Amino acid sequence: MGLPAIEIPETALRPVSGRGLQRRLFDYLGWGLCTLAFLLLGSAMTWILVVVFLRGINALNFSVITHVTEGTGGGLLNAIEGTLVLALGGIMLAAPPGLAAGIYLAEFDRGRLAPTIRFLADVLVGVPSIVIGYFGYVTMVVALGWKFSVAAGSVALAIISLPYICRTTEMALRQVPRALREAAYALGASDGRVTLGICVPAALPGILTGVLLALAISVGETAPLLYTAGWSSYLWTGHFTNEPVGYLTYVIWAFITEPFESAHALAYAAAFFVTLFVLVISILTRMVLDENAGWRRLRPWEKRKP
Amino acid sequence: MGNLTESNVITGVPGSERFVQDFEKGVLQSTLKISVSQLNFYYGPRQVLFDVSLNIADRKITALIGPSGCGKSTFLRTLNRLHETIHGTRMEGEVLLDGQNILELDVVRVRRRVGMVFQKSNPFPKSIFENVAYGLKINKMGGRGLIQEIVEKSLHRAALWEEVKDHIHKSAYSLSGGQQQRLCIARALAVDPEVLLLDEPCSALDPIATAKIEDLLMDLASTCTIVIVTHNMQQAARVADHTGFFLLGKLIEFNKTDIIFKNPARKETEDYITGRFG
């Protein structure tokens, strides 16, 4: 458009030899190592999923989900019900304080309490889950006299989920831009309104991810339940204390070492269900975070991919 | 309230005897909307504003110019106490709104009376309607019908209504950058502020959107006092009645806009305006 065309010397387009070769070698090496790492991880995961799903599907039949466990045979209805009750109970107990603590850490703390809470949350993540089971046994099952029960199991799961919910909530809120808060403050909004009306909705995808992650962890836990929920071959009658309850991970843990084919089949089926639950929750989480799923329109400050 | 007359424009250099005389004379005039005296401001131990005194005339446009980091935005934030949302800030001095110290007024009320528009448009993750209605709802102003009416009126005032009237319940993020900025202006106007503070509202916009917003500001000045921070000196010259020049946290000169641009009293002002630094 009126400007003289710029001549590009041909030498500028040719790759530089020597250093160019070295760079390409490093490039190949990098890609090679990445592919190797991917194959290692990918094959391990595929192997687990294939084994669990093939054996699980072979062991599945309609009676597995319609009958309760009888000895080392029967179905898994009681365990599926128990797992759902315990996991939901754990989330219902952990979510309110976890969300509240996360909101407090991100929005309100100005003093020295925050580092302490963060440190405690990190310690809680690191406590072996069997120690939490043992703690639950000593305090709730024995001292409080709840016996093996939904209440004790849910509380144990809640203790495990709490730090995850707390820290992911804090992280999600910290990503909300300051400009949004200022806009609300400038209209005369109070701290509470800014937090609950503006920041929490904007951070909702991240917060939900934390809660779903905690749910997945709850579904997969075994050790804390062994000492708190016990085991039962019957359906839950709705009592929160003094009634042990079945759950899927117990079936895997206990039945795989039994010398009966029927017990093995139940263990495989239970492993199938646990994996399926966790997989479904993970996919749900991905969908929540997926930019195509519509949630992303709420977080426009994260650049859309073209 | 009448217009600012020649007699109560501050003509002296801040700190000079002339300035103090003019300033005191000015404070007594009812045509002043905001009066700032001896303002010092600190971020932690670092002082960023030094002894700033400034009068802002009612229903006029006051522009604040100066190089980056000279304290213009910080100064603007002290006018609606928004600095209080940042931890570790400290303010000394006095800001009077209609003769009342804003620190003695309820902070929510101050911010409702003194609205603000930011450099980057920052609509809430809500619909266009909900964005404009937000201030009304949190301040409990009006029922459902009235809110509808005020939202429409505010979008009209911000010259956005024609462009959004058919999809007012769509996400605010579906709008273009210039439209989002006008939405933020509509949101600020909805609560009917007496003063509107604008912090470089056009710096991220193209010339067409900028021109729209400048027209809008000149229309608004008939009902509302406007204080605008800008890097764009032509913009200040185009829209402002009064202009203040900030440098390194000090107000160097404050006067009628044409005097600042045509016949500045201080060499620093002249150097900045003629582009010798900054």
Cβ distance B108 to A188 less than 8 Å, yes or no, reads yes
Please report the pLDDT score of residue B30 as a whole number.
43
Q: Which chain B residue lies closest to A204 (C-alpha atoms)?
A: B125
Mean pLDDT of B42-69: 91
Nearest CA in chain B to A109: B87
Residues of A in contact with B188 (CB under 8 A): 186-187
Instruction: Choose the closest CB to A185 out of B111, B125, B184.
Output: B111
What residues of chain A, 214 to 243, have a C-beta less than 8 Å from chain B? none
A107: closest CA of chain B, how far (Å): 11
Mean pLDDT to the nearest integer, B125-141: 89
- The predicted model scores a pTM of 0.76
* Domain range A74-290, CATH class: mainly alpha
Question: How many CB pairs below 8 A link A and B?
Answer: 68
What are the CA-CA distances from residue A175 to residues A100, A116, A302, B260 (Å)?
17, 22, 10, 42
What residues in B contact A297, CB-CB < 8 Å? Answer: 171, 173
Question: Does any CB of chain A come closer than 8 Å to the CB of residue B173?
Answer: yes
Task: Please give the average per-residue pLDDT across B94-123, as a whole number.
Answer: 90
Q: Using a CB–CB cutoff of 8 Å, tell me whether A188 touches chain B.
A: yes
Give B 225-264 residues with CB within 8 A of chain A.
Answer: none
Closest residue, chain A, to B108 (C-alpha): A188
Residue B7 pLDDT > 50, yes or no?
Answer: no
- Identify which of A110, A179, A201 has the shortest CB distance to residue B120: A179
- The residue of chain A with its CA nearest to that of B78 is A186
- Residue-by-residue DSSP string for B94-124: EEEETTEEGGGS-HHHHHHHEEEE-SS----
Task: Inform me whether the pLDDT recorded for B21 exceeds 80.
Answer: no
B108 to chain A, any CB pair closer than 8 A? The answer is: yes
Tell me if A201 and B125 make a contact (CB, 8 A cut-off): yes
A185 closest CB neighbour out of B85, B87, B188: B85
Residues of chain A neighbouring B80 (CB-CB closer than 8 A):
186
Domain boundaries, chain B: 6-273
User: Which of chain A's residues have a Cβ under 8 Å away from the Cβ of B85?
Assistant: 181-182, 185
Q: Give the model's pLDDT for residue A18.
A: 65
Torsion of CA A37, A40, A43, A44, to 10 degrees: -120
Residue A199's nearest CA partner among A299, A120, A272, A273 is A299
pLDDT by residue for chain A (306 residues), tens only, comes to: 456 666 766 666 665 566 788 889 999 999 999 999 999 999 999 999 999 999 998 888 888 888 888 888 888 999 999 999 999 999 999 999 999 999 999 988 777 788 898 899 999 999 999 999 999 999 999 999 899 999 999 999 999 999 999 999 999 999 998 889 999 999 988 888 899 989 998 888 889 888 988 999 889 899 999 999 988 888 888 888 889 999 999 999 999 898 888 899 999 999 999 999 988 988 888 777 665 444 444 444 444 433
Question: Which of B124, B169, B189, B227 is most worth mutating to test chain A (most A CB atoms within 10 A of its CB)?
Answer: B124
To the nearest whole angstrom, how far is the Cα of A115 from the nearest Cα of chain B? Answer: 17
B80, A186: Cβ pair inside 8 Å? yes
Cross-chain residue pair B85–A181, CB shorter than 8 Å: yes
CA gap B36, B23 in Å, rounded: 10
**Whether B111 and A300 lie within 8 Å, measured CB to CB:** no
Among B122, B134, B188, the residue with its CB nearest the CB of A179 is B122
From A295, which residue of chain B is nearest by alpha-carbon distance? B125
B4 pLDDT band, cuts 50/70/90, is very low
Q: Closest approach of chain B CAs to the CA of A175, in angstroms?
A: 14
**Residue partners of A103: CB distance under 8 A and separation at least 6:** A169, A170, A173, A195, A200
Chain A contact for B184 (CB, 8 A cutoff): yes
With an 8 Å Cβ cutoff, are A186 and B171 in contact?
no
User: According to the model, what pLDDT value does residue A296 have?
Assistant: 45
Across the interface, whether the CB atoms of B124 and A183 are under 8 A apart is answered yes
* pLDDT value at residue B277: 62
Name, in order, each residue with C-beta under 8 angstroms of A129's C-beta and a sequence gap of 6 or more. Answer: A160, A221, A222, A223, A224
| Interface check B122 vs A, CB under 8 A | yes
pLDDT digits (tens, 9 = 90+) for B157-205: 888 898 998 988 888 888 988 899 999 999 999 998 999 999 998 887 8
Average pLDDT over residues B206-212: 85
Fold of B6-273: Rossmann fold (3.40.50)
Q: Which of residues 30-69 of B touch A (CB under 8 A)?
A: none
Nearest CA in chain B to A198: B124
Q: What is the ipTM of this complex?
A: 0.82
Nearest-Cα distance to chain B for A200, in Å, is 11
B118/A299 touch (CB, cutoff 8 Å), yes or no:
no
- Minimal Cβ distance to A182: which of B107, B118, B187: B118
Question: Min CA distance, A108 vs chain B (Å)?
Answer: 11
